[in-house]
Amino acid sequence: MSHLAQGFIEVTGYVAAIEAADTMAKAAEVLVKRAHKVDGPRVCVICEGDVAACQAAVNAALEVCAPKGTVISSNVIPNPAGGPEELYKHLNAIDAKKAAKKQAKLKAAEERREAAKKSSEAAKKAANDAAKKPDNKK
């Protein structure tokens, strides 16, 4: 069974990723499937098509992005093991883990803010109570 080839270009920044995806789509008969945020500013643009089309698309994106210094890496896989769906399942799992981790960080930060607010309110109340007490040191 023959699968579509996949072409990849990893670049720095969303603007470079958009430019790479646009160039890939215009340069050859490929379908730009996804732009995957790798980490930090790195984005991987993925296209599908026959091997020659993917190679042409990746080469065209390299020609456009390389002079700007945004290219990190590129590759073409002629016949991906398990087909493209396996890659997308894996990428979706990574995205889900990143989202869960981000949510946990946001929740922890909110809990810290609430604890600090309660602590601050308690300190203000204690200071007000101390100011209201009469001074018995005469």
What is the C-alpha to C-alpha distance for residues 24 and 47, in angstroms, rounded to an integer?
8
Whether residue 112 is found in the same domain as residue 45: no
Instruction: Say if residues 63 and 18 touch (Cβ distance below 8 Å).
Output: no
Residue 137, domain member (yes or no): no
Query: Whole-model pTM?
Result: 0.66
CA separation, residue 23 to residues 59, 79, 97, 109 (Å): 10, 23, 31, 41
Domain count, the chain: 2
Range of the domain at 103: 84-130
The pLDDT profile of the chain, 138 residues, written as one tens digit per residue, is 456 899 999 999 999 999 999 999 999 999 999 898 888 899 999 999 999 999 999 999 999 999 999 999 999 999 887 766 777 777 777 778 877 888 888 888 888 888 888 888 888 888 787 777 766 555
Hey, how many other C-beta atoms are within 10 angstroms of the C-beta on 127?
Answer: 10
The reply to whether 66 and 117 lie within a common domain is no
User: Which of these, 5, 6, 72, 64, lies nearest to 34 by C-alpha position?
Assistant: 6
